[in-house]
Amino acid sequence: MDHLRSEPWPQPTCSHLYGALQVRGPGQRISEARGSQREEDRTCRHLKTDAETGKLVQAGKPAQAREGAGPRHVAFHPAGQLAYVVDELDSTVTAYRFDPADGALQPFQMLSAVPDAFTGNSRAAEIAVSTDGRFVYASNRGNDSIAVFAMDPTTGRLSPASWMPSGGKTPRFFALGPSDTFLFAANEDSDTLIAFRRDAANGALSATSEVVRVGSPVCILFRIA
What Cα–Cα distance (Å) separates residue 76 from each residue in 14, 20, 132, 165, 209?
27, 12, 12, 24, 30
Q: Looking at the 3D structure of the chain, how many domains does it have?
A: 1
Is residue 71 domain-resident?
Answer: yes
Digit-coded pLDDT (tens) for 126-184: 999 999 999 999 999 999 999 999 999 999 999 999 999 999 999 999 999 999 999 99
pLDDT of residue 120: 96
More confident: 21 or 110 = 110
In a domain, 177, yes or no: no
Domain membership flag for residue 179: no
CA 88 to chain centre: 9
Parent domain of 14: 2-167
Domain assignment present for residue 100? The answer is yes
Whether residue 207 lies inside any domain: the answer is no
CATH number at residue 81: 2.130.10.10
**pLDDT level of residue 2 (50, 70, 90 thresholds):** very low
Judge whether 104 lies within some domain: yes
> Does any domain span residue 181?
no
Which tens digit of pLDDT belongs to each residue from 174-209? 999 999 999 999 999 999 999 999 999 999 999 999
The answer to the question of residue 173 being in a domain is no
Q: pTM of the prediction?
A: 0.84
